[in-house]
């Protein structure tokens, strides 16, 4: 079995409009059953998909794959053998579909081969065009459409696909060409009518589940990978849309691409679109080969497909069915006997021997060329795209903006009313209320910002992991675009709040002091934002982060100098104040407010206090133990440094997530294998040279 694009079975289905690449070719397929007709029959299959140049085509062969994972912890850990001795050949120009009952190992196989596996141990060999390779290499030349569609819901369909095109198509391609490719893919996946619709979030209903799935496919296909893996691309789709999607996959394959998909219960129409079929059971291959031939194969083994029935249904009901109450009345074996027997039959079949021979003596031995590798965009390309997306995301989350704005205005007015005209209050209240409100300002910004960012960022983390894993962008581009978008919000919101409070309370009537207090408040908000990001990255579960963050913030508040006099903190706990943003914010704001202030007794004060007369605000600074806590400028600078340090820590935490998502891979090929493959490649080149000379 070789990648024979000249055979009638490999002939592509009829397609229309230029797509994916630069060459236009119209091809036709006599084998496809007629598509079900609808009133608006502008299906994906009526598109034209130009062929992939020969040198970009990829055959992925692998033999004797074993995949095991360890389940449970410590002594209770048990090893689970998920894939057992799996050998297959995914051919360029063919749509290969993996069928199997739930738990048969379809997704695991797809993940192992596509380089998406994150846990466990893989044994076996994988070859790209006859050369020893790895999952990581396959990842570089393929797109992967996951079963669960994780995508930022505030984007529109058009924006999501455009973002993928901008980030993953070569920067040498003009913006107009990229837009054209986006439009082509939208047409191809029948998404024209929904292209301006928002994808949808948990709180805002967006496009349907099927459309969402097609958006994820479009985001992968727009990059024109030579190989595409799709996990359950038809789940959740109606039968006609499912047919249209598989027809599209067939067209893609027919154009020279290697397309591998897992499917659940394909209809009869879909079954007849499949080129190569893999049937899996209990982590092993039960059949691999021509889909039509599978009918004869199982008939030969005593499981003929009844006339006029869907072969796929027959396979599921009579062969793969693991229930003891067999559906087939004349079932000769129980599932416990039938499945192992058929797995054994496959291993001894001539089809299996032919497959192993094909893997051993591949039709191509030339490996992959650089043109097959996916394009990696540069930071300068990524940052503007991610920045504008993050900005749109922030503005479209109207509920969050309204909540933030409402919170800052409400608290500003509330605090203004509670502390209204502090200078008109009695002597003790003037001191206590000023320190109290300044402390509240510092704490509120830190807590409010950290909690707000924590929940939003934690929700987005999954999208980041998926997109980063798919190679959309680099970590710095994502991180700095996020920080850059949060920054203005974290300046404007606290500014609104302090502007309301400052003048209502009657803090020092001095514009420069107002701006210093504003600056410190804003810096507190920035530190809070960075703490929120850090917590979101550091903890896997949002609920854990929400429980732990207040516990961490509490000591930072306690040692700020209001609740415990800085001079009286025990030495072994004294260090905490040095890492407390609240302390620097509070000390800075207190010094700013009390320096140059005259606090005078009022008529309501005791005669003794009235006789004592006005006191300088500096006395309060001394009594709080803040004399040796640095100047306002120094506190400002330390706060700035703490913000930067927290950002660096958040970056590291994000980097840790990326690193921990490292993928497990095949063991590197042995020296012997490499030498053999090299010799085969050279021999292949020589033969090619002879052919050219002739």
Ligand X SMILES: Nc1ncnc2c1ncn2[C@@H]1O[C@H](COP(=O)(O)OP(=O)(O)OP(=O)(O)O)[C@@H](O)[C@H]1O
Q: Which residues bind ligand X (CB under 6 A)?
A: 69, 71, 80, 82, 100, 102-108, 119
The least distance separating ligand X from the CB of residue 337, rounded to whole angstroms, comes to 20
The least distance separating ligand X from the CB of residue 630, rounded to whole angstroms, comes to 52
C-beta of 126 vs 155, nearer to ligand X: 126
C-beta of 320 vs 531, nearer to ligand X: 320
The least distance separating ligand X from the CB of residue 536, rounded to whole angstroms, comes to 24
In this structure, what token pair is assigned to residue 654?
């994000």
The least distance separating ligand X from the CB of residue 100, rounded to whole angstroms, comes to 5
The least distance separating ligand X from the CB of residue 382, rounded to whole angstroms, comes to 31
Note whether 287 and 280 are within 8 A (CB). no
C-beta of 180 vs 465, nearer to ligand X: 465
C-beta of 117 vs 133, nearer to ligand X: 117
The least distance separating ligand X from the CB of residue 120, rounded to whole angstroms, comes to 8
CA distance to 13, 24, 340, 543, per residue, from 50 (Å):
12, 5, 43, 49
The least distance separating ligand X from the CB of residue 119, rounded to whole angstroms, comes to 6
In the numeric block, the tokens 């027959």 are attached to 314
Q: Which of 141, 124, 139, 144 is nearest to 61 (CA)?
A: 124
Q: Which residues pair with 142 in a beta bridge?
A: 227
In the numeric block, the tokens 């302390």 are attached to 583
The least distance separating ligand X from the CB of residue 67, rounded to whole angstroms, comes to 9
The CA-CA-CA angle for residues 549, 552, 555, to 5°, reads 145
In the numeric block, the tokens 């007709």 are attached to 37
In this structure, what token pair is assigned to residue 85?
């001795």
Q: Which of 600, 655, 591 is nearest to 628 (CA)?
A: 591
The least distance separating ligand X from the CB of residue 111, rounded to whole angstroms, comes to 8
C-beta of 82 vs 186, nearer to ligand X: 82
Q: What are the two backbone dihedrals, phi and then psi, of residue 68, each rounded to the nearest 5 degrees? A: -130, 145
The least distance separating ligand X from the CB of residue 306, rounded to whole angstroms, comes to 25
C-beta of 106 vs 214, nearer to ligand X: 106
What secondary structure letter does DSSP report for 193? G
Q: Are strands 78-90 and 60-71 parallel, antiparallel or unpaired?
A: antiparallel
The least distance separating ligand X from the CB of residue 70, rounded to whole angstroms, comes to 9
C-beta of 288 vs 473, nearer to ligand X: 288
The least distance separating ligand X from the CB of residue 124, rounded to whole angstroms, comes to 16
**DSSP-based three-state secondary structure for 435:** helix
C-beta of 107 vs 255, nearer to ligand X: 107
C-beta of 119 vs 202, nearer to ligand X: 119
The least distance separating ligand X from the CB of residue 264, rounded to whole angstroms, comes to 6
CB-CB neighbours of 223 under 10 Å: 22
The least distance separating ligand X from the CB of residue 69, rounded to whole angstroms, comes to 5
Note whether 88 and 288 are within 8 A (CB). yes
CA distance to 24, 491, 507, 515, 604, per residue, from 415 (Å):
68, 19, 12, 19, 23
The least distance separating ligand X from the CB of residue 148, rounded to whole angstroms, comes to 11
Q: What does the buried/exposed string (b/e) look like for 14-25 if buried means 16 or more CB atoms within 10 Å of the residue's CB?
A: bbbebbbbeeee
In this structure, what token pair is assigned to residue 293?
């031939």
**DSSP-based three-state secondary structure for 270:** helix
C-beta of 236 vs 625, nearer to ligand X: 236
Label each residue of 442-501 as H, E or C: HHHHHHHHHHHHHHHHHHHHHHHHHHHHCCCCCHHHHHHHHHHHHHHHHHHHHHHHHHHH
List, in order, residues 6 or more apart from 135 with CB less than 8 Å away: 112, 113, 114, 115, 116, 117, 122, 126, 663, 665, 666
C-beta of 2 vs 147, nearer to ligand X: 147
Note whether 374 and 471 are within 8 A (CB). yes
C-beta of 11 vs 317, nearer to ligand X: 317
Q: What is the CA radius of gyration of the chain?
A: 33
C-beta of 86 vs 254, nearer to ligand X: 86
Q: Which of 312, 318, 343 is nearest to 333 (CA)?
A: 318
The least distance separating ligand X from the CB of residue 262, rounded to whole angstroms, comes to 6
Quote the CA–CA distance of 286 and 297 in Å, as a whole number.
Answer: 11
In this structure, what token pair is assigned to residue 473?
């962008």
C-beta of 323 vs 604, nearer to ligand X: 323
C-beta of 405 vs 664, nearer to ligand X: 664
C-beta of 88 vs 92, nearer to ligand X: 88
The CA-CA-CA angle for residues 452, 458, 461, to 5°, reads 140
Quote the CA–CA distance of 586 and 437 in Å, as a whole number.
Answer: 10
Quote the CA–CA distance of 222 and 169 in Å, as a whole number.
Answer: 8
C-beta of 186 vs 246, nearer to ligand X: 246
C-beta of 71 vs 554, nearer to ligand X: 71
The least distance separating ligand X from the CB of residue 109, rounded to whole angstroms, comes to 7
Quote the CA–CA distance of 126 and 58 in Å, as a whole number.
Answer: 12
Quote the CA–CA distance of 194 and 206 in Å, as a whole number.
Answer: 10
Q: What are the two backbone dihedrals, phi and then psi, of residue 445, each rounded to the nearest 5 degrees? A: -65, -45
In the numeric block, the tokens 């009869």 are attached to 268
Quote the CA–CA distance of 90 and 61 in Å, as a whole number.
Answer: 6
The least distance separating ligand X from the CB of residue 350, rounded to whole angstroms, comes to 27
CA dihedral 482, 487, 489, 495 (to 10 degrees): 170
């Amino acid at each position: 079995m070789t990648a024979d694009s000249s055979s009638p079975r490999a002939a592509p289905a009829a397609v229309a409009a230029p797509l994916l690449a630069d060459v236009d070719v119209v091809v036709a397929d006599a084998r496809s059953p007629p598509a079900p007709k609808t009133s608006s029959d502008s299906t994906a299959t009526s598109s034209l998909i130009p062929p992939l140049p020969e040198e970009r085509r990829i055959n992925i062969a692998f033999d004797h794959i074993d995949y095991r994972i360890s389940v449970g912890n410590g002594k209770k850990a048990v090893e689970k053998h998920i894939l057992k001795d799996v050998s297959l050949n995914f051919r360029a120009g063919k749509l290969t579909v993996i069928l199997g009952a739930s738990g048969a190992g379809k997704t695991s196989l797809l993940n192992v081969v596509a380089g998406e596996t994150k846990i466990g141990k893989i044994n076996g060999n994988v070859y790209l065009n006859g050369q020893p390779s790895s999952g990581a290499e396959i990842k570089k030349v393929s797109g992967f459409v996951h079963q669960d569609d994780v995508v930022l819901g505030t984007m529109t369909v058009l924006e999501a696909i455009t973002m993928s095109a901008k980030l993953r198509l070569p920067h040498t391609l003009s913006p107009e060409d990229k837009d054209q490719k986006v439009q082509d893919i939208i047409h191809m996946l029948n998404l024209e009518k929904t292209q301006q619709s928002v994808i949808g979030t948990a709180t805002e209903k967006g496009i349907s589940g099927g459309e969402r799935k097609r958006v994820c496919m479009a985001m992968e296909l727009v990059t024109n990978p030579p190989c595409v893996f799709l996990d359950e691309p038809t789940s959740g789709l109606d039968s006609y849309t499912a047919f249209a999607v598989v027809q599209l996959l067939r067209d893609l394959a027919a154009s020279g691409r290697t397309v591998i998909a897992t499917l659940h219960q394909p209809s009869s129409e879909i079954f007849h679109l499949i080129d190569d079929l893999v049937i899996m059971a209990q982590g092993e291959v039960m059949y691999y080969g021509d889909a039509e031939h599978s009918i004869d194969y199982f008939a030969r083994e005593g499981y003929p497909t009844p006339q006029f029935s869907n072969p796929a249904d027959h396979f599921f009901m009579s062969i793969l069915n693991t229930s003891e109450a067999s559906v087939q009345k004349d079932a000769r074996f129980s599932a416990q006997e039938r499945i192992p027997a058929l797995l054994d039959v496959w291993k001894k079949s001539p089809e299996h021997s032919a497959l192993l021979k094909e893997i051993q003596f591949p039709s191509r031995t030339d490996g992959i060329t650089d043109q097959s590798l996916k394009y990696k965009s540069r930071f300068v390309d990524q940052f503007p795209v991610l920045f504008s997306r993050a900005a749109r995301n922030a503005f479209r989350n109207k509920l969050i903006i309204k909540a933030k704005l409402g919170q800052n205005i409400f608290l500003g007015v509330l605090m203004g009313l509670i502390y209204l005209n502090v200078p008109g209050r009695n002597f003790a209240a003037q001191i206590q209320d000023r320190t109290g409100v300044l402390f509240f300002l510092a704490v509120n910004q830190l807590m409010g910002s950290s909690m707000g960012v924590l929940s939003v960022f934690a929700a987005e983390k999954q999208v980041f992991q998926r997109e980063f894993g798919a190679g959309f962008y680099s970590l710095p581009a994502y991180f700095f675009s996020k920080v850059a978008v949060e920054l203005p919000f974290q300046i404007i919101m606290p500014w609104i709040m302090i502007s309301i409070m400052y003048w209502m309370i009657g803090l020092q009537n001095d514009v420069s002091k107002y701006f210093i207090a504003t600056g410190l408040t804003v810096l507190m908000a920035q530190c809070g934002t960075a703490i929120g990001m850090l917590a979101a990255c550091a903890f896997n579960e949002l609920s854990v982060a929400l429980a732990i963050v207040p516990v961490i913030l509490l000591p930072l508040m306690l040692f700020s100098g209001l609740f415990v006099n800085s001079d009286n903190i025990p030495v072994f706990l004294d260090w905490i104040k040095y890492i407390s943003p609240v302390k620097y914010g509070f000390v800075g704001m207190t010094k700013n407010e009390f320096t140059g202030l005259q606090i005078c007794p009022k008529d309501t004060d005791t005669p003794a206090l009235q006789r004592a007369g006005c006191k300088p605000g500096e006395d309060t600074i001394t009594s709080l133990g803040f004399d040796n806590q640095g100047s306002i400028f120094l506190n400002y600078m330390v706060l700035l440094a703490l913000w930067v340090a927290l950002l660096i820590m958040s970056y590291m935490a994000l980097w840790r997530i990326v690193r921990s998502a490292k993928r497990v891979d095949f063991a590197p090929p042995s020296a012997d294998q490499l030498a053999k493959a090299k010799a085969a490649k050279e021999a292949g080149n020589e033969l090619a040279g002879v052919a050219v000379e002739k």
